[in-house]
């Protein structure tokens, strides 16, 4: 959610700045002339259809005041705009904090690791399990406490017993999970044809 | 009045701050620790300390209320993976010794060791990995 907000905020900032630059350049160029000629501010307003837009918005506001379907759609659009605004605010102001898995903590300092590093180690350990052909690891750090959760998808051939693969993979992960307060959920899944068994 | 002070001068001509010196020393000490392939600033370039226009990647030093500095080093570890507790202890010890040798021992607070990544032996060329 925060990542989406951040991407949207950056994209919109870029687009708005480009639009502002173009608008500024246009106003500067059209300010050269005076009166109501082609190169004048009234000319620019005419060129981009501001009078027509004013009439259109006036009609829309009249419809909204009258109630009915158009008013409902307008209210929903306004709600969407508010939500988009909130998302942009979150994307702009949410702290850029890296979530780390805390492995140990004492008065001398903390030992932590990025999820990717832990995932790398967990995958290496899980792939040492007999019958496991491939692994996918997801790591979720705990918010406050030490440790985190590992979700390991272990691919195995048809001939392997999934329950056995699960327990063996859990055992292979023990050096990591036992030492650092990590909990592992192993999900055995039948591998695709052509994968080799360790 | 400043002109009368012997130490008055342009800000840019001043030496590095204690924070920057501590960050630089911690970075050097962590890079010299066995089992460390390099330091990483992380995906968002968050682990970076600034020293007079220079960016020290993979290390931060933040002031604490007691006058000391929290130091964080984000290391890339070589494979095969060394015991992480021992690695962190070694890095802390080296950072502490280096800081003390340069007269900054009293400013050093807790040292956080973050494992940023694991580098395969084939990928190790002696150069610092890209953040």
Tell me, what CATH number does B52's domain have?
3.30.70.1350
Query: What CA–CA distance (Å, rounded) separates B11 from B15?
Result: 9
Query: Would residue B4 count as lying in a domain?
Result: no
Query: Would residue B65 count as lying in a domain?
Result: yes
Judge if the upstream peptide bond of residue B84 is cis by omega within 30 degrees of 0.
no
Query: Would residue B58 count as lying in a domain?
Result: yes
Q: What is the mean pLDDT of residues A95-124?
A: 87
ipTM computed for the complex: 0.76
Pairing of strands A109-114, A100-106: antiparallel
Q: For chain A, give the percent of residues with pLDDT over 70.
A: 94
Q: What is the mean pLDDT of residues B111-121?
A: 88
Query: What CA–CA distance (Å, rounded) separates B15 from A173?
Result: 49
CB B69 within 8 A of CB B63: yes
B38-71, pLDDT tens digit by residue? 999 887 778 899 888 889 999 999 999 999 999 9
- Count of structural domains within chain B: 1
Query: What CA–CA distance (Å, rounded) separates B119 from B128?
Result: 11
What pLDDT score does B121 carry?
Answer: 64
Q: Which residues of B touch A116 (CB under 8 A)?
A: 117
DSSP H/E element including A25: helix A2-30
CB B57 within 8 A of CB B91: no
CA nearest neighbour of B78 among A184, A80, A120, A36: A120
A62-90, pLDDT tens digit by residue? 888 887 888 888 889 999 999 989 888 88
Query: Would residue B8 count as lying in a domain?
Result: no
Q: What is the mean pLDDT of residues B18-27?
A: 93
| Full-model pTM | 0.65
Range of B105's domain? Answer: 14-121
A144 Cβ under 8 Å from any chain B Cβ: no
A176 Cβ under 8 Å from any chain B Cβ: no
Query: What CA–CA distance (Å, rounded) separates A55 from A75?
Result: 20
What domains does chain A contain, in order, with CATH numbers?
2-93 (no CATH), 100-190 (3.30.70.1350)
Q: Which of B68, B115, B120 to mutate to test binding with chain A, by most A CBs within 10 Å of its CB? A: B115
Q: Which residues of B touch A179 (CB under 8 A)?
A: 84-85
Query: What CA–CA distance (Å, rounded) separates A102 from B93?
Result: 20
């Amino acid at each position: 959610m925060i990542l989406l907000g951040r991407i949207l905020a950056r994209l919109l900032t870029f687009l708005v700045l480009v639009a502002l630059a173009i608008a500024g350049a246009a106003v500067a160029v059209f300010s050269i002339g005076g009166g109501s000629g082609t190169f004048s501010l009234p000319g620019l307003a005419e060129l981009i259809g501001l009078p027509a837009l004013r009439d259109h918005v006036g009609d829309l506001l009249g419809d909204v005041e009258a109630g009915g379907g158009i008013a409902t759609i307008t209210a929903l659009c306004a709600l969407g705009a508010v939500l988009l605004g909130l998302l942009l605010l979150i994307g702009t102001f949410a702290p850029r904090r890296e979530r780390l898995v805390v492995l140990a903590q004492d008065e001398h300092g903390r030992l932590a690791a990025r999820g990717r590093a832990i995932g790398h180690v967990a995958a290496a350990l899980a792939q040492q399990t007999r019958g496991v052909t491939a692994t996918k690891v997801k790591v979720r750090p705990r918010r406050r406490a030490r440790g985190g959760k590992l979700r390991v998808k272990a691919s195995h051939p048809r001939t392997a017993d999934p329950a056995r693969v699960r327990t063996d993979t859990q055992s292979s992960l023990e050096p990591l999970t036992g030492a650092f307060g990590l909990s592992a959920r192993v999900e055995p899944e039948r591998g695709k044809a052509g994968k080799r068994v360790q | 009045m400043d002109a009368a002070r012997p130490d008055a001068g342009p800000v840019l001509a001043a030496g590095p701050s204690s924070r920057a010196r501590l960050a630089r020393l911690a970075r050097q000490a962590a890079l010299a620790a066995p089992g460390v392939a390099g330091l990483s600033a992380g995906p968002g370039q968050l682990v970076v300390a600034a020293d007079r226009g220079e960016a020290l990647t993979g290390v931060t030093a933040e002031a604490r209320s007691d006058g000391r500095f929290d130091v964080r080093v984000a290391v890339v570890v070589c494979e095969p993976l060394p015991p992480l507790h021992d690695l962190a202890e070694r890095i802390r010890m080296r950072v502490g010794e280096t800081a003390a040798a340069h007269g900054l021992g009293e400013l050093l607070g807790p040292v956080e060791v973050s494992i940023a990544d694991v580098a395969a032996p084939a990928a190790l060329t002696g150069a610092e990995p890209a953040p």
